[in-house]
Chain A
Amino acid sequence: MSDLVAKLKGIVGDEYVVTADMSQYLRGKEQPAAVVFPGSTEEVSGIVKAANDANVKVNVGGKVVETKGLSGGIAIVMSRMNQIEEIDHENLTCWVQAGMNHQELIEKLAAENLYFAPEPYAVSTSSIGGCFGIGDVDTKTFNYLPTRTFILAYESVLPTGDIYKVGTKCIKCVSGYDMIHFIVGTRATLGIITRVLVKLLPMPKAFRAVIADIPSLQAAAVAFKAIQKRKIFPSRMNAVSKALGNDVMDAKGALVLVDIESYPVSAAQYAKEIEAELRIAGATFTKVVEDKAEYDEVVAKWLKIREKISLEENKVKFTVGPAKVGTALANLTGIVGNLEENPCVLVEGLNGKITVFSKNADADAVAINKMAMGLGGNVSGLLGSQLRCKAYNDNEMLEEISRVLNSIRSQFDPKGIMAPGIKL
């Protein structure tokens, strides 16, 4: 092992290899042999090649690395690769290193009157590499599309240590397989993204937020449906249970957070109509936030709530479609109990998606998936895909999806060294 550490020090320099007091960089019980802080793509490549030679596992993180299955392996922290390399106003693109903090990137771009739409997964720690590694479908997806649509190109180190680059500044490209978007959400199983070319948008001309204290999540769902019937599609249209809402204001019931990014005329009119619908649905308090500084404060509070939800391990996420959120909420009570008292419920009105805390997440996911499938939806992600196959008693499909996923993974990572905690 000392050979490996010496090799790593030779690649990145002594000061960028930590072998004692590693806990601040790690999440999980298992201990890697070293935490390494590379400063370039070439250094990442060197580290991965060293891991291959020593036959040890590797995982990566922006500030913190998950250690499941990483005993004796290498934890790569990307925080040194935290620079914006280029902002291209003409093409609305930005080359950024993977270790750059996601929120910091948003703020630096905003200072240049540019907009990067994806929300940070966990605002205090998320890196831009993590943003695309996780590839979230966030609460702004309805208008801005999922996170993956904001990557135009990247440089990556394969699990073998080889470097490749794909993509251009063109917003349209159908040359070759769509690795640009496929890499998003692969959680480092197919390699380590080191630099990313992200797509930007012009800064919206006007911002408004509408916040409301509403008696129940069910009442919020009624308002959300009515707002969409008016053909109003805000940037976010979320409701959270009282426990989460208290981080924004001292609410008596559930908290509704709607925000609008648009032009001045429509923003003002939409805010008025949204407020009216929330009142009709029973909101006891509503406020339209017009001041930009106050608006930013509301969004910052929302991002803290989002971080809390993202880091909650005992949760189930599912989608039923925007029109069926009310029915799903009613049915959900029968599975997880009173939602208003639940510490973590998020209702995404536009995505038709619900996230709920459950003490018995694995068991409840089965019941929730059954209920969601009855409404034309399902539990999200890999778990949802597995549960759907099981619900249809379709083992053949389950096995085939698993075979294909693992076949792709083994093509990229023949020795199986990357992201050992991820099982497909």
Chain B
Amino acid sequence: MLSHSAIDKLKSICGEKDVITSKIGMYAYGYDGTMLWGVPEGIVMPESTQEVVDVVNLCREQGITIVPRGAGTNESGGSVPVDGCIIMNFSRMKKILEVDIENYVAIVEPGVVNWDIQEMLAKYGYYYPPDPASWKASTMGGNLGECSGGPKCFKYGVTRDFIYGLEVVLPSGKVIWVGGKDFSSEPMYDMTRIFVGSEGTLGFITKIAIRIQPVPAAKKTMLAIYNTPEDGSQSVADIVAAGIIPTTLEMMDNLIINTTEDFVHAGNPRDAGALLILEVDGHPGDMDEQVKTIGEIVKKANAREFKVATSADEVDKIWLARRVAFGSVARVRPNYGVNDITVPRSKFPQAIAGIEKVKKEFGVTIGTVAHAGDGNLHPLILFDQRDKEEVETVHAAEKELCKMAIALEGTVSGEHGIGLLKKPLMIQEYGPATMDVFKKIKRAFDPQSQFNPGKLLDL
């Protein structure tokens, strides 16, 4: 429990209304996108780097740990409170500080919502490529903490590839700038990269220099429908082998096709085994050649239907089902667990087979959405959290999916992070020697585990 004097000091730093210690006020900060839950000792909402520094120094002196939080959309327990901590909520630090279109850079605060940046950049014909599914709610600080991906990763890369530099408050309370407004400004060690994806365990990011780029001059959106997911994954392999790197290769299985049909009536055939949404972008003169090649490839892989959108309405129609995929499963069961397993692209068909096996062995309902080009699968296990026995079965099935990914030389997380949820699986993925290397990093920055303790690894 926070002492009265600690609460008073926090209020003197952040202001009376930006420190919450009431039980009811803290309720909304106890969870994230998982089923994990925790109770903090208090919530602080700093508005500036100096306020972050002051809170960090106070907490260090008083032995209080701090869990950072953006919008709380993460899927691994990274922002869930742990015993005795306070939550540092960055939602007040939401200014877009600088936009320099001609030099392809913008500087933003961590509380800015990804979508707000996209809307602002769209006015100039520019965008920021990382586009996680949560982009209308998730914050840039959270995106960096988890190194978020999204549908465009296959061609453009993930969050870490679009970060030029950072202002960071360290557990020591000191502020450093790493990187700059370009990729050449790191102080020899690429400090920016080690902070991105570190889930707030090494430092708290207070300013972010992002790389922005012009919206491509042309884009083509296509839809291919298959009788089996295996045929769809064969298309993915063949497209890459033909030398084409699409912007997007999104796959949905039969269950998700049906739940989305129930929800939005997108017009996809209910008996299809899988569908693939494909996009290519670039110079207008290069589109036809790529579309023609893709059309030939998907037909050879037994696609029963292949459509190329010819208008903005048709593009929207193709994307409609994918956009509502996660929400649509609520029609089947009240809860779902999102998994984030990733395998080498060539092992995608084996991963699909592995998911089928888990379904049968554990008797669970799974619908799969996948960034097929990346080998990143999101099997959604559907359940009812009021049924405790079923919850246990779901946890066991999730563990089995992760083990399957590791056995296929993949990873337990492609874009959602480790947090609390997947921490026990790290040793299986890496073994003791590599885990020890990770611990060296944590010790170098935060030997007392003051920042987001117990997440990602234990010292």
Collect the chain A residues with CB atoms within 8 Å of residue B438's CB.
176-177, 179
Asked if A231 meets B217 with Cβ closer than 8 Å, knowing A164-B433, A175-B411, A265-B289, the reply is yes
How many Å lie between the Cα of A38 and that of B346 in the bound state? 33
Asked if A266 meets B189 with Cβ closer than 8 Å, knowing A166-B437, A175-B422, A202-B243, the reply is no
Collect the chain B residues with CB atoms within 8 Å of residue A145's CB.
157, 161, 183
Collect the chain B residues with CB atoms within 8 Å of residue A203's CB.
243
How many Å lie between the Cα of A88 and that of B346 in the bound state? 9
Asked if A174 meets B147 with Cβ closer than 8 Å, knowing A182-B189, A319-B182, A376-B100, the reply is yes
Chain B, residues 187-201, CB within 8 Å of chain A (1/0): the string is 111110110111000
Q: What residue of chain B has the Cβ atom nearest to residue A173's Cβ? A: B411
Contact residues of A between 81 and 122, Cβ < 8 Å to B:
88-93, 113
Q: Which of B173-181, B267-275, B358-366, B389-397 contacts A (4 or more CB under 8 A)?
A: B173-181
User: Is B346's CB under 8 angstroms from A205's CB?
Assistant: no
Smallest beta-carbon distance A380→chain B, Å: 4
Chain B, residues 402-421, CB within 8 Å of chain A (1/0): the string is 00000001111111111000
Query: Which of A141, A172, A353 is B415 in contact with, Cβ under 8 Å?
Result: A172
Collect the chain B residues with CB atoms within 8 Å of residue A378's CB.
180, 185
User: Is B437's CB under 8 angstroms from A179's CB?
Assistant: yes
Asked if A174 meets B443 with Cβ closer than 8 Å, knowing A88-B346, A263-B283, the reply is no
Q: What residue of chain A has the Cβ atom nearest to residue B241's Cβ? A: A89
Chain A, residues 243-286, CB within 8 Å of chain B (1/0): the string is 00000000000000000001111100110000000000000000
Collect the chain B residues with CB atoms within 8 Å of residue A168's CB.
342, 344, 409-411
Contact residues of B between 149 and 207, Cβ < 8 Å to A:
149, 153-154, 157-158, 160-161, 170, 172, 174-178, 180-191, 193-194, 196-198, 202
Collect the chain B residues with CB atoms within 8 Å of residue A205's CB.
243
User: Is A181's CB under 8 angstroms from B193's CB?
Assistant: yes
User: Is B181's CB under 8 angstroms from A319's CB?
Assistant: yes
How many Å lie between the Cα of A385 and that of B182 in the bound state? 13
Smallest beta-carbon distance A216→chain B, Å: 21
Interface residues on B, range: 35 or more
Q: What residue of chain B has the Cβ atom nearest to residue A228's Cβ? A: B102
B426 within 8 A of A: yes
User: Is A164's CB under 8 angstroms from B437's CB?
Assistant: yes
Contact residues of B between 342 and 398, Cβ < 8 Å to A:
342-346, 371, 374-376
Collect the chain B residues with CB atoms within 8 Å of residue A411's CB.
440-441, 443-444
A384 within 8 A of B: yes
Query: Which of B102, B345, B410, B429 is A90 in contact with, Cβ under 8 Å?
Result: B345
Asked if A170 meets B243 with Cβ closer than 8 Å, knowing A175-B418, A404-B170, the reply is no
User: Is A408's CB under 8 angstroms from B444's CB?
Assistant: yes
How many Å lie between the Cα of A380 and that of B129 in the bound state? 25
A80 within 8 A of B: no
Q: Which of A24-32, A70-78, A305-313, A320-328 contacts B (4 or more CB under 8 A)?
A: A320-328
How many Å lie between the Cα of A317 and that of B186 in the bound state? 13
Collect the chain A residues with CB atoms within 8 Å of residue B149's CB.
172, 174
Q: Could you say which of B157, B282, B417, B433 has the most chain A C-beta atoms within 10 Å of its C-beta?
A: B433
Query: Which of B197, B422, B442 is A178 in contact with, Cβ under 8 Å?
Result: B197
Chain A, residues 122-142, CB within 8 Å of chain B (1/0): the string is 000000000000010100010
Collect the chain B residues with CB atoms within 8 Å of residue A263's CB.
282-283, 285-286, 289-290
Smallest beta-carbon distance A131→chain B, Å: 15
User: Is B188's CB under 8 angstroms from A172's CB?
Assistant: no
Q: Could you say which of B198, B429, B441 has the most chain A C-beta atoms within 10 Å of its C-beta?
A: B441
B112 within 8 A of A: no
User: Is B153's CB under 8 angstroms from A90's CB?
Assistant: no
B7 within 8 A of A: no
How many Å lie between the Cα of A388 and that of B436 in the bound state? 34
How many Å lie between the Cα of A164 and that of B190 in the bound state? 20
* Shortest 4 CB-CB contacts between residues of A and residues of B: A321-B103, A265-B285, A266-B283, A323-B102
For this complex, 9 residue pairs linking A to B, each with C-beta atoms less than 8 Å apart, are: A141-B183, A145-B183, A165-B434, A166-B430, A170-B343, A317-B184, A385-B178, A404-B191, A411-B441
Supply 18 further A-B pairs (C-beta < 8 A) apart from A170-B411, A170-B414, A174-B149.
Answer: A92-B240, A137-B183, A175-B426, A178-B160, A179-B434, A179-B441, A185-B189, A185-B190, A265-B289, A319-B180, A319-B181, A321-B100, A377-B181, A382-B187, A384-B187, A385-B177, A401-B176, A408-B189
